Amino acid sequence: MYVWFASLLAGLVLLLLPAVRRTYFPHLFQDARYIAKAAWFGLRLARYRTRRPFYSLLERFTDAARTHPNKPFIHFEGATYTYLEVDRLSNRVANALRTCGGVTQGDTVALFLANEPCFVWTWLGLAKLGCAAALLNCNIRSRSLLHCFSCCGAKVIIAAAELRDAVQEVLPALRQQSISVYILSDGGHGDGILPLSGEISRASDEAPPASLRAKVTMKSVALYIYTSGTTGLPKAALVTQERVWAASFIQSMSGVTSQDVFYINLPLYHSAGFLIGLTGSIERGGTVVLKRKFSASQFWDDCRKYNVTVTQYIGETLRYLCNTPKVRGNEKEHSVRIAIGNGVRTEVWTEFLKRFGNISVRELYAATEGNVGFINYTDRVGVVGRVNFLHSRMFPYALIKFDTEKEEPVRNSLGLCVKAAKGETGLLVGKITKRSPFVGYAGNKQQTEKKRLCDVFVKGDLYFDSGDLLRIDQDNFVYFLDRVGDTFRWKGENVATTEVSDILAMVDSIEEANVYGVTVEGHEGRIGMAAVTLRDGKTFDCVGTYSHLANYLPPYARPHFIRIQSSLEVTGTFKMKKVKLVEEGFNPGIVQDCLYFLDLGAKNFVPLTEELYEAIVSRQIKL
Ligand SMILES: *[C@@H]1O[C@H](CO)[C@@H](O)[C@H](O)[C@H]1NC(C)=O
Ligand SMILES: *[C@@H]1O[C@H](CO)[C@@H](O)[C@H](O)[C@H]1NC(C)=O
Ligand SMILES: *[C@@H]1O[C@H](CO)[C@@H](O)[C@H](O)[C@H]1NC(C)=O
């Protein structure tokens, strides 16, 4: 009682004395607003959990289709689909699959589709049957495709017509496992791939009875989403109904309303596009503009054409936008007011605002399978969030000291991890509790175990290893620094590769840079190397690049080898591929591309010849 009274009094003092507040608690209102919002979402989630039958996001959608049937739900390449139309189409899908496919509650169905409107109603149709959907990356093929398909335990796959060849390639293996293979086209070819479009258009558009999904609860798996590793095969993260709800709140949390038009330009098979974009818009009852593929040159035209008010991004896409040539006219003329996403670097963030105007960037930190997340709810550029009393109570997490060389947490003499100090970079770990569970990956015990970290602060405790390096500053702002593995260590110093690429990309002749560390015989750690692409018609500017790097980067962070490529390989989410580059290293006998070497004596980049290479590996040249 006394404690409550004291805190009430303290609260009043803070409210009444703005000077005290500004000095000692400059973010009090923002923190309080965030806490209030978070608490409200917590309550809503609790209400849905106890409602019988369970109120899923699907029910939210069907409610929306009842309350505003004629509101546009999806704009796609000039076509518009209203809530009612999408609802009816999803009924058809459900009825078709039920009668001809025998799909029932509890089944998992894999979707192998690109970003197109039928992705949405096919998924809604599956949800109406109480099925989980595995969202296969439409760029994967053969072994990887089979792996992803198999690990979610699906018995049915639905593929887009244009992906027929990819399906055909793995058909023998699928048939061996008696998988039903459907394709969204009319004609069959008698090869065991069943056309589904005719069945769907013939099926009834009446809603299938809700009893068909009566067993779905908050804990049921709703989706399998594959996390795109830069190494190895993708892992299928289990996304429960609860997770779907929680992720769908991000839009609302960021200030998006039902009047907003949300631009989905990232793949629907990933969480950013599907959870934040699609399910978030369903939760809001808003309109989405769906893009087949992100295009920097069409971005603002799309925004103007469809009156987009909210967009999503990843760091790379904002960078692409900033790299587009300046156009005549006012680049600030558009209605985009909010951008939600993650991974943007401070420089790009600043440049983006300067060029494209007053847009609230809601930078957030979250992983599909993770159990802790942050969102920037203050006005500080470059941060992903703030340490907040309630948040850390509800979802205990910590930053722990990390050895980037061994790529594992530092442990003390007792075998326990060590908290990183304020201002120090650390590995983010989230305590695994009932409220913040880590469900793991489907059919992959080993990977699941790898992400569980035991004996963190006391023997026997259990944390989720995010694999991300973050920093918390003196004012409790949280900064995202890197993924583990996106750093290298040279001369005893850790170098974040993204930082170096940002600096390189400022060089006039360089379009894009992919930075990584390579080993050199006889040396500890890894030395910096960069694969770069050049701007149209430009050649590599040896002197200019050298002096630019010398100006901006400490010696240990400078890339000593430059590899000129015509394009940089990226994953489906625009992450740069590095593993192959790291393996190939800087041996001109292996690498076909033009190579340059940072010559300290000459203060210049020089072509890397065989002789020079020999001199480096035999240590005649000092690095
Ligand atoms: C965008 O807004 C303008 C002006 O309010 C309106 O005329 C136009 O129809 C809107 N476009 C779409 C696609 O909603
Ligand atoms: C930026 O937008 C916010 C609301 O979105 C508004 O409150 C603010 O005044 C705007 N600032 C400028 C400089 O236009
Ligand atoms: C997040 O950071 C940006 C800085 O660009 C700021 O404009 C925005 O208001 C911040 N806060 C929220 C809640 O988005």
Encode pLDDT of 302-337 as tens digits: 999 999 999 999 877 888 898 888 887 788 999 999
φ/ψ of 260, rounded to 5, equals -80, 155
Ligand nearest to the CA of 380: 3
Q: Does domain 56-362 have CATH number 3.30.70.100?
A: no
Strand partners, 364: 375
pLDDT band at 492 (very low <50, low <70, confident <90, very high): low
Ligand nearest to the CA of 344: 3
How many Å lie between the centroid of ligand 2 and the Cα of residue 358?
6
Q: With a cut of 70, say whether residue 25 has pLDDT above it.
A: no
What integer pLDDT is reported at residue 73 of this predicted model? 98
pLDDT band at 16 (very low <50, low <70, confident <90, very high): very low
Q: Which atom of ligand 3 is nearest to the CA of 254?
A: 13
Is the CB of 358 inside a 6 Å radius of any atom of ligand 2?
Answer: yes
Quick one: which of 268, 450, 478 has its CA closest to 365? 478
Nearest CA to ligand 2 atom 5: 337
Q: With a cut of 90, say whether residue 9 has pLDDT above it.
A: no
Structure tokens at 370: 């993770």
Quick one: which of 603, 602, 600, 608 has its CA closest to 562? 608
Distances, alpha carbon 303 to alpha carbons 295, 379, 601, in Å: 12, 24, 51
Q: Which atom of ligand 1 is nearest to the CA of 306?
A: 13
Residue with tokens 């049915």: 156
Which tens digits make up the pLDDT trace of 500-517? 888 898 898 999 899 999
Class of domain 380-483: mainly beta
Burial tier of 230 (Cβ tally within 10 Å: 0-12, 13-18, 19+): middle
Q: How many residues does the chain have?
A: 623
Distances, alpha carbon 204 to alpha carbons 63, 157, 477, in Å: 20, 22, 54
Q: Which atom of ligand 2 is nearest to the CA of 357?
A: 14
**Range ranked top by mean pLDDT from 329-333, 390-394, 556-560:** 556-560
Burial tier of 194 (Cβ tally within 10 Å: 0-12, 13-18, 19+): middle
Say if CB 262 and CB 278 are below 8 A apart: no
Look at 228-232, 417-421, 543-547 and tell me which has the smallest mean pLDDT.
228-232
Mean pLDDT of the chain: 85
Nearest CA to ligand 3 atom 14: 362
How many Å lie between the centroid of ligand 2 and the Cα of residue 266?
27
Which tens digits make up the pLDDT trace of 116-136? 999 999 999 999 999 999 999
Which is more confident, 420 or 388? Answer: 420
Using CA atoms of 484, 595, 318, 268 in order, give the dihedral in degrees to the nearest 10: -70
What integer pLDDT is reported at residue 529 of this predicted model? 96
Q: With a cut of 50, say whether residue 1 has pLDDT above it.
A: no
How many Å lie between the centroid of ligand 1 and the Cα of residue 307?
6
Which tens digits make up the pLDDT trace of 35-92? 777 777 778 888 888 888 889 999 999 999 999 999 999 999 999 999 999 999 999 9
Query: Who's near 438: CB < 8 A, 6+ residues apart?
Result: 369, 370, 371, 430, 432, 451, 452, 464
Which stretches does DSSP call E strand in 60-152? 72-76, 79-82, 108-112, 132-135
Is the CB of 337 inside a 6 Å radius of any atom of ligand 2?
Answer: yes
Distance (Å, whole) CA 368 – CA 238: 9
Distance (Å, whole) CA 142 – CA 542: 42
Distance (Å, whole) CA 595 – CA 540: 10
Distance (Å, whole) CA 315 – CA 435: 30
**Range ranked top by mean pLDDT from 234-243, 302-311, 570-579:** 302-311
Q: Which atom of ligand 2 is nearest to the CA of 360?
A: 5
Distances, alpha carbon 520 to alpha carbons 13, 492, 558, 582, 599, in Å: 61, 15, 15, 11, 16
Quick one: which of 575, 511, 569, 486 has its CA closest to 267? 575
**Average pLDDT value for residue range 402-426:** 85
Q: Which atom of ligand 3 is nearest to the CA of 255?
A: 13
Ligand nearest to the CA of 308: 1
What integer pLDDT is reported at residue 505 of this predicted model? 86
For residues 156-192, b (16+ Cβ closer than 10 Å) or e, as one string? bbbbbeebbebbbebbeebeeeebbbbbbbeeeeeee
In the chain, how long is the greatest CA-to-CA distance? 80
Say if CB 563 and CB 595 are below 8 A apart: yes
Check the CA dihedral 219-225-228-231 and report its sign: positive
Nearest CA to ligand 2 atom 14: 358
Which is more confident, 162 or 230? Answer: 162
How many Å lie between the centroid of ligand 2 and the Cα of residue 37?
22
Q: How far is CA 560 from the centre of its chain?
A: 31
How many Å lie between the centroid of ligand 1 and the Cα of residue 304?
9
Look at 9-13, 211-215, 552-556, 613-617 and tell me which has the smallest mean pLDDT.
9-13
Q: With a cut of 50, say whether residue 14 has pLDDT above it.
A: no
Ligand 3, residues at Cβ distance < 6 Å: 353, 360-362, 376-379, 381
Which tens digits make up the pLDDT trace of 249-276? 889 988 999 999 999 999 999 888 999 9
CB atoms under 10 Å from CB of 305, counted, come to: 12
pLDDT band at 485 (very low <50, low <70, confident <90, very high): low
φ/ψ of 119, rounded to 5, equals -55, -45
Structure tokens at 187: 């004609």
What integer pLDDT is reported at residue 13 of this predicted model? 47
Pick the CATH number of 487-617 from 3.30.300.30, 3.20.20.70, 3.30.750.24, 3.90.1150.10: 3.30.300.30
Q: With a cut of 90, say whether residue 207 has pLDDT above it.
A: yes
End-to-end CA distance of the chain: 66
Distance (Å, whole) CA 140 – CA 573: 13
Is the CB of 68 inside a 6 Å radius of any atom of ligand 2?
Answer: no
**Average pLDDT value for residue range 280-296:** 95
Ligand 1, residues at Cβ distance < 6 Å: 306-307
Distance (Å, whole) CA 373 – CA 386: 11
How many Å lie between the centroid of ligand 2 and the Cα of residue 459?
50
Quick one: which of 512, 499, 565, 510 has its CA closest to 541? 510
Nearest CA to ligand 2 atom 2: 358
What integer pLDDT is reported at residue 530 of this predicted model? 96
- Ordered by start, the domain boundaries in the chain are 56-362, 380-483, 487-617
Nearest CA to ligand 1 atom 11: 306
What integer pLDDT is reported at residue 357 of this predicted model? 92
Q: Which atom of ligand 1 is nearest to the CA of 75?
A: 13
Q: Classify strands 235-240 and 221-227 as parallel, antiparallel or unpaired.
A: antiparallel
For the entire predicted model, the pTM comes to 0.76
How many Å lie between the centroid of ligand 1 and the Cα of residue 440?
44
Structure tokens at 399: 């930053």
Q: How many CA atoms lie within 13 A of 138 on its CB side?
A: 20
| DSSP states along 169-224 | HHHHHHHHTT-EEEEESS---SSSPEE-HHHHHHS--SPPPGGGGTT--TTSEEEE
Quick one: which of 174, 153, 143 has its CA closest to 443? 153
Quick one: which of 131, 148, 137, 143 has its CA closest to 169? 143
Say if CB 83 and CB 64 are below 8 A apart: yes
Mutate to test the pocket of ligand 1, among 289, 303, 307 (most ligand atoms within 8 A of CB): 307
How many Å lie between the centroid of ligand 1 and the Cα of residue 113?
30
Local structure of 573: helix, strand or coil:
coil
Which is more confident, 406 or 522? Answer: 522
How many Å lie between the centroid of ligand 3 and the Cα of residue 380?
6
pLDDT band at 208 (very low <50, low <70, confident <90, very high): very high
